């Protein structure tokens, strides 16, 4: 099941594990999209788990970019803005076959991009810890 972006994805600076980079955009990149780097052009493009070469996850866009503009990308760290309510704590998050989208289930080529992490604050409706995505593209 694809994971919806509830509000614009944003980086949450919680600790020293946060790594952010700037990639060159190709236009049309929006906040919350999962990206890879096109090896031929060096630009950031939305990942597609079903397509060979397009599931080499690089990070989550936390900004928008037009053609040739710099794009802030979280390669490792906490990213808010995703609807994780249906996922269990510590559940893996995968790339989807839908371009640039994350999923609770593996796409055609299974690529884990992070995990659902419990935060210290509580959800006001359930009383349980809030959930946030911890992006860590390798060895998750």
**pLDDT (tens digit, 9 = 90+) per residue, 50-99?**
888 888 888 888 877 777 777 788 888 888 889 998 999 999 999 999 99
Asked, for residue 25, whether it belongs to a domain, the answer is: yes
Average pLDDT in the chain: 81
Bridge partners, residue 134, by sequence: 78, 115
Asked, for residue 93, whether it belongs to a domain, the answer is: yes
**pLDDT (tens digit, 9 = 90+) per residue, 88-101?**
999 999 999 999 99
Q: Report d(CA 135, CA 71) in Å as an integer.
A: 17
Position 90 scores a pLDDT of: 95
Q: Structural domain tally of the chain?
A: 1
Asked, for residue 60, whether it belongs to a domain, the answer is: yes
Q: Report d(CA 7, CA 22) in Å as an integer.
A: 21
Asked, for residue 18, whether it belongs to a domain, the answer is: yes
Position 12 scores a pLDDT of: 52
Asked, for residue 42, whether it belongs to a domain, the answer is: yes
For residue 1, what is the DSSP state? -
Q: How confident is the model at residue 140 (pLDDT cuts 50, 70, 90)?
A: very low
Q: How far is CA 89 from CA 78, 100, 129, in A?
A: 14, 23, 9
Q: Report d(CA 33, CA 47) in Å as an integer.
A: 8
| First-residue to last-residue Cα distance in the chain | 20
Q: How confident is the model at residue 126 (pLDDT cuts 50, 70, 90)?
A: confident
Residue range of the domain that includes 67: 2-135
């Amino acid at each position: 099941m694809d994971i919806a972006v509830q509000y614009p994805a944003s980086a949450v600076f919680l600790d020293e594990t946060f790594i952010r980079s700037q990639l060159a955009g190709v236009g049309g990149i929006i906040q919350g999209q999962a990206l890879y780097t096109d090896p031929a052009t060096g630009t950031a493009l939305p990942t597609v788990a079903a397509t060979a070469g397009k599931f080499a996850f690089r990070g989550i866009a936390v900004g928008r970019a037009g053609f040739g503009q710099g794009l802030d990308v979280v390669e490792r760290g906490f990213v808010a803005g995703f609807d994780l309510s249906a996922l269990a704590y510590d559940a893996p998050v995968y790339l989807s076959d839908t371009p640039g989208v994350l999923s609770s289930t593996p796409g055609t080529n299974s690529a884990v991009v992070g995990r659902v992490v419990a935060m210290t604050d509580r959800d006001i409706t359930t009383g349980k810890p809030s959930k946030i995505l911890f992006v860590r593209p390798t060895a998750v």
